[in-house]
C-alpha cells in the first residue's frame, strides 16, 4: 500500500515534504513552506488539487489522489522503501571517493594567499581574508575565481537567494548534481540552504585570536572546502556537525541524496569520521 497522508495522520515526514513540493511545483501556493507538517495549509492545498482533478475534496492524500498525482509525475514509493534504508549505516560510504586533500584542492581551484584579522574583527573564529593568488599573477583571487551560479533548483528552500556562490571550476559538477537530483525527483528533500563559498578554516580550527600573518592555502590542510567555493550546506537544523544526521524518512534527512551526489563527484560530510561528522555538508571531491 503506498504512503497515504492526512492531517493528524501517521505521516512519514519526508513524504509530506514530497507532497508539499509537488503541490508547489504545480502552482498551488496555498501549501505554504515545505516543512514536513501536514497542517491546515497542506490540507487546503490538497483539496485544491483534488478539485482540479475532479476528485472528492476531502483534503487527504488517499489512493485516488495518489494515482491522480502519479499520472502527473508524482513519485509513489514501494511499501518497504524506508524500512530498507533505516539506521545510521545507510547509505554506505562509497568506494574510491573521499574528502579531497590539500594538494587536489590547490591544484583544481588554485592556491591563494590569506590572512586573519584579530578575533575581535572576525564574525567567527575561523574566518580568513583571501588576498591574491600564490603565484602573484592575480591580485584578487576571489573576484577572479568565485562566481554566482543562478539556479531554480532550490527555489523552494529556506535561505536560498536564487544562486550558488561557487568556484567557477565547480560549476559543471554542480550543474550535473542538480540535474541528477531533479531527474530522480529528490529535490523535495532540500528544505533549507546555508551557503557555499565561505572563506574560513574548518569548524573549530583557529590558529590564534591575534592577527595572523599571511599564509598560502597550499601550506595548510585545515582550510574548509567552503574557502575554495567547492562545497555547500543544506538542511543544517537536522544535521548539525558532530551529530548523527537525520535518518531517512525523517524531516530534513539528506541521506537519499548521497548516492547521486557521489556519482557526480561530491562527497558527503555524513561520512566524515569521529566528531567531524557533518551531515549538512557536500563537497566536490572528483
- Whether the Cβ atoms of residue 154 and residue 196 lie closer than 8 Å to each other: no
User: Whats the size of the chain, residue-wise?
Assistant: 286
Nearest to 184 by CA among 93, 79, 266, 261: 261
DSSP letters along 189-241, please? G--BB--S---BBSTT--S-SSPEEEEEGGG-S-B-GGGGT-EEEB-GGGS-T
pLDDT in tens, the chain (286 residues): 679 999 999 999 999 999 999 999 999 999 999 999 999 999 999 999 999 999 999 999 999 999 999 999 999 999 999 999 999 999 999 999 999 999 999 999 999 999 999 999 999 999 999 999 999 999 999 999 999 999 999 999 999 999 999 999 999 999 999 999 999 999 999 999 999 999 999 999 999 999 999 999 999 999 999 999 999 999 999 999 999 999 999 999 999 999 999 999 999 999 998 889 999 999 999 9
Q: Report the distance separating Cα 128 and Cα 116, nearest Å.
A: 5
Q: Report the distance separating Cα 263 and Cα 158, nearest Å.
A: 26
Q: What structural domains and CATH numbers belong to the chain? A: 13-81 (1.10.101), 102-284 (3.30.1380)
Q: Say what the pTM is.
A: 0.96
Amino acid at each position: 500500500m503506498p504512503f497515504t497522508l492526512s492531517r493528524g495522520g501517521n505521516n512519514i515526514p519526508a513524504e509530506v515534504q514530497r507532497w508539499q513540493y509537488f503541490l508547489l511545483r504545480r502552482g498551488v501556493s496555498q501549501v505554504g513552506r515545505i516543512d514536513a507538517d501536514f497542517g491546515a495549509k497542506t490540507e487546503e492545498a490538497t483539496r485544491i488539487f483534488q478539485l482540479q482533478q475532479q476528485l472528492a475534496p476531502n483534503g487527504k492524500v488517499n489512493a485516488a489522489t495518489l494515482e491522480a498525482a502519479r499520472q502527473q509525475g508524482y513519485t509513489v514509493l514501494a511499501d518497504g522503501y524506508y524500512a530498507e534504508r533505516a539506521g545510521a549505516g545507510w547509505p554506505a560510504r562509497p568506494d574510491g571517493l573521499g574528502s579531497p586533500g590539500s594538494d587536489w584542492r590547490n591544484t583544481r581551484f588554485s592556491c591563494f594567499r590569506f590572512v586573519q584579522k584579530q578575533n575581535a574583527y572576525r564574525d567567527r573564529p575561523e574566518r580568513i581574508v583571501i588576498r591574491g593568488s600564490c603565484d602573484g599573477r592575480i591580485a584578487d583571487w576571489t573576484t577572479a575565481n568565485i562566481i554566482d551560479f543562478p539556479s531554480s533548483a532550490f527555489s523552494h528552500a529556506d535561505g536560498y537567494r536564487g544562486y550558488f556562490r561557487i568556484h567557477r571550476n565547480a560549476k559543471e559538477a554542480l550543474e550535473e548534481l542538480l540535474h541528477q537530483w531533479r531527474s530522480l525527483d529528490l529535490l523535495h528533500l532540500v528544505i533549507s540552504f546555508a551557503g557555499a563559498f565561505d572563506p574560513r578554516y574548518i569548524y573549530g580550527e583557529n590558529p590564534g585570536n591575534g592577527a595572523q600573518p599571511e599564509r598560502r592555502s597550499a601550506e595548510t590542510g585545515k582550510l574548509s572546502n567552503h574557502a575554495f567555493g567547492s562545497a555547500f550546506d543544506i538542511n543544517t537544523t537536522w544535521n548539525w556537525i558532530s551529530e548523527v544526521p537525520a535518518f531517512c524518512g525523517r524531516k530534513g534527512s539528506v541521506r537519499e541524496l548521497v548516492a547521486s551526489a557521489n556519482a557526480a563527484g561530491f562527497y558527503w560530510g555524513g561520512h566524515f569520521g569521529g566528531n567531524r561528522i557533518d551531515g549538512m555538508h557536500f563537497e566536490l571531491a572528483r
